[in-house]
Structure 1
Amino acid sequence: MSENYLTIKSSGSHELEIKKSRFICSVQRVAKKEDADAFIASVQQDNPKANHNCFAYMVGKHDEIQRESDDGEPSGTAGVPILEVLKRMKLHDTVAVVTRYFGGTKLGAGGLIRAYSSSTSRAIENVGLVQKVLQQDIVLNVSYPNYEKLNYHLEQQQIQVIDTAYGSDVTVTIAVDLNAVEQVQTSIMNLLSGQVTIKTGDKHYHEIDVPVYPDAAD
């Protein structure tokens, strides 16, 4: 996983009915394996009469933790299709559980693969996606005469201002995408002819909504 990555926007679920079988996919964002396992257990507990609770998840900075389960369905027809949707959509730190209530008609291997894949895709479309962008706080200390010029520049460049403190000088804290820190610092230094003190602060993630395209999910 790179410094910026995709994940689901929120937790949620979506139900799909195929030949009277109910496929209910529940998805959640997780930070570690224990979170994923706890979510799976909670879905199983909420659906004690379900025939199957199949799942898959990818967790870790480099997706080093990947797990899937068919939970009694024919091998390779449930857990793997769920996992493949997560991989195809390049989602990280995400767990998906598809609960099946059997409707009396067997779907066959191909039908099961399509059902579990589609159920997962629809649930992800339902909750939406975000890109997690790693940002760094930059603390700028300027004189009052230079503050107006700086503030106008930040507005024009659509740079997020987190805080402004007024004292003997003005201290402005901004949040900048990590890959743009050097460029932003240089532009501000040039703008104010070096009459600014610049310090770097904490790093944190900012979430940006990303459209979900059905072709990417199917």
Structure 2
Amino acid sequence: MECVIAASPASYTTIDGEHRHELEIKRSRFITVLRRVETEDEARALVAGLRKEFHDARHHCSAFVLGPDRGVQRSNDDGEPSGTAGIPMLEALTKRETAPGAADLSDVAAVVVRYFGGILLGAGGLVRAYSDSVSQALATARLIPRRRMRLFAVPAPHAGAGRLENELRSAGLTVLGTGYEERGALINVALADQPEVVEAFHARLAALTAGGPAPEPRGTKWVDLA
């Protein structure tokens, strides 16, 4: 039987830093904290920190999704009836459309702190409350697209580096900065990790430098685009 390996995604979306949102339902307070994280340890540290900050709350339910392929997904009900908190929170993260038809949110941890208001919500009410808490927080959070980029260092003489950097920016390329060394400058450029994009870059650079030194490949890197 042939084994098909799924290609790693070239882009995904995350959030900017930390974001908080509060919702009140039948006198219960649902305080949602979203934070950009890259590891399980960072996600768990968020939960631990909020347990201390909101030490008198009854529940600190959590969910997180990590990695460009969203390969790590975890949730925790923290004492709420099984399946009424963590899983709805996780689904709110994984099903969130960051663009029409695109659900690619990742590197995000969500914690919902609940202060019980004395009125039971029932299983269905809890599912809606935890799902809505995360969804409403995401609706007001700033989203950041990320793309896997090919990195190149473009050699340039000191005197011409500024002009060439401006021309590369004007051509729509992502310039990460310029480093100056004794032998000359190196303009660091990031390109979408696609063969046709790299080919077009080489052609454009050759035209700008009249066939000057070839760019030096520097591997790949995930880059925030906003």
Q: TM-score scaled by structure 1?
A: 0.81
Q: 1:190: how far off? A: 4.1
1:3 partnered with 2:10: yes
How many correspondences in the alignment? Answer: 209
Secondary structure, in 3 states, of the residue corresponding to 2:215?
Answer: strand
- Aligned residue for 1:212? none
Equivalent position amino acid for 1:16 in 2? L
Structure 1: give runs of 5+ residues left out of the alignment: 210-218
Q: Distance in 1 between matches of 2:188 and 2:67?
A: 31
Deviates more, 1:18-27 or 1:53-62: 53-62
Among 201, 205, 212, the alignment partner of 2:222 is 205
Instruction: Tell me if structure 2 keeps the 8 A contact 1:150–1:188.
Output: no
Equivalent position amino acid for 1:182 in 2? E
Q: 1:110: how far off? A: 2.0
Among 178, 193, 203, the alignment partner of 1:178 is 193
Give aligned-pair identity as a percent. Answer: 34
- Aligned residue for 1:108? 122
Q: Distance in 2 between matches of 1:147 and 1:58?
A: 41
Please tell me the root mean square deviation across aligned C-alpha atoms, in Å: 2.7
Q: 1:169: how far off? A: 6.1
Q: TM-score scaled by structure 2?
A: 0.79
Instruction: Tell me if structure 1 keeps the 8 A contact 2:158–2:180.
Output: no
Relative contact order higher in (CA < 8 Å, ≥ 6 apart): 1
Instruction: Tell me if structure 1 keeps the 8 A contact 2:11–2:147.
Output: yes
1:95 partnered with 2:84: no
Instruction: Tell me if structure 2 keeps the 8 A contact 1:13–1:126.
Output: no
1:44 partnered with 2:44: no
Within a 5 Å distance, the mapping from 1:63-212 to structure 2 comes to 63-89=70-96, 90-142=104-156, 150=164, 153-161=167-175, 162-163=177-178, 165=180, 171-179=186-194, 180-209=197-226
Secondary structure, in 3 states, of the residue corresponding to 1:197?
Answer: coil
**How big is each residue's C-alpha offset from its partner over 1:111-140, in whole Å with a ceiling of 9 and x where there is no partner?**
211111111112223331111222333222
